[in-house]
């Protein structure tokens, strides 16, 4: 099955309209895991290349499985290099998510590497999956530039201090709040509901609203999920496949013992 042409555009459109999209980080190289998530009704997955040993040839197969279940695929890259961005987009992912950024100039470079001319300098060939291996629609370049989702993390002191300028970067789509890293960077506890991380998180959300960016956040329980809904944060990432599996097996072991 070739890449579903509507996945990229519909995902981005849903986010832009504020429709909550439920995702999770995927760390396990397992088609069955991705199928389970798709059958359960997740809207998207973030394939995690930052905190795993996943390689691009494995990620490409994971994207194929997600496509079969009409799930959008974001790839959390190990870095913001041109090579990493190009490979992730060429293999047909819905978009990219770049961690550990510091300032607006870095984000501008990420956008430039992600977009074809005239919006950027992404290298061009039609011999890859995103371009249907040469069975390429006439509007491919325009569609890729329009539909690809670009997300960055706000999780470092530098990114937090520069969040207003980062949110002003044209063609950046999603500003993702990483509560755990952000709390460590700022020397605060990780409670963004009513703890001392709440104010920094709302500063980021407000910066998104002022600049028409899509806010995103990691959640791990119902209270955090409802926080995201209440504050119109549509890009919602509930834990990870590893954490969800651990919770399930822990509950069984507690019951048995």
Q: What span, in angstroms and rounded, lies between the C-alpha atoms of 220 and 237?
A: 8
Q: Residue 239, by phi and psi: left (phi above 0), alpha (psi -120 to 50) or beta? A: left
Distance between CA atoms of 181 and 190, rounded to whole angstroms? 9
Backbone CA torsion sign across 149, 193, 227, 247:
positive
Burial 6-24 (b: 16+ CB within 10 A, else e): ebbebbbebbeeeeebbbb
Q: Based on C-alpha coordinates, what's the Rg of the chain?
A: 18
Q: For residue 30, what is the DSSP state? A: -
Q: Catalytic amino acids?
A: 51
């Amino acid at each position: 099955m070739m890449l579903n042409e509507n996945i990229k555009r519909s995902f981005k459109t849903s986010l832009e309209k504020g429709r909550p999209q439920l995702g999770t980080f995927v760390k396990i190289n397992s088609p069955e895991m991705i199928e389970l998530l798709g059958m359960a009704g997740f809207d998207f997955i973030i394939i995690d290349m930052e905190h795993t040993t996943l390689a691009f040839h494995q990620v490409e197969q994971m994207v194929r499985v997600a496509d079969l279940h009409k799930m959008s695929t974001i790839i959390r890259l190990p870095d913001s290099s041109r090579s990493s961005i190009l490979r992730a987009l060429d293999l047909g992912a819905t978009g990219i998510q770049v961690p550990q950024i510091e300032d607006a100039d870095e984000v501008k470079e990420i956008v430039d590497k992600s977009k074809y001319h005239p919006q950027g300098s992404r290298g061009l060939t039609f011999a890859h999956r995103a371009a249907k291996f040469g069975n390429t629609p006439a509007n491919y370049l325009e569609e890729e530039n329009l539909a690809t989702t670009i997300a960055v993390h706000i999780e470092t002191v530098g990114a937090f201090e520069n969040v207003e300028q980062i949110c002003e970067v044209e063609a950046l789509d999603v500003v993702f709040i990483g509560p755990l890293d952000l709390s460590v960077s700022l020397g605060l506890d990780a409670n963004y509901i009513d703890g001392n991380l709440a104010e920094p998180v709302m500063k980021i959300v407000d910066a998104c609203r002022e600049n028409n960016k899509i806010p995103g956040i990691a959640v791990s329980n119902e209270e955090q999920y409802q926080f995201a809904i209440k504050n119109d944060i549509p890009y919602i990432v509930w834990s990870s496949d590893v954490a969800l599996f651990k919770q399930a097996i822990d509950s069984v072991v507690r019951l048995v013992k």
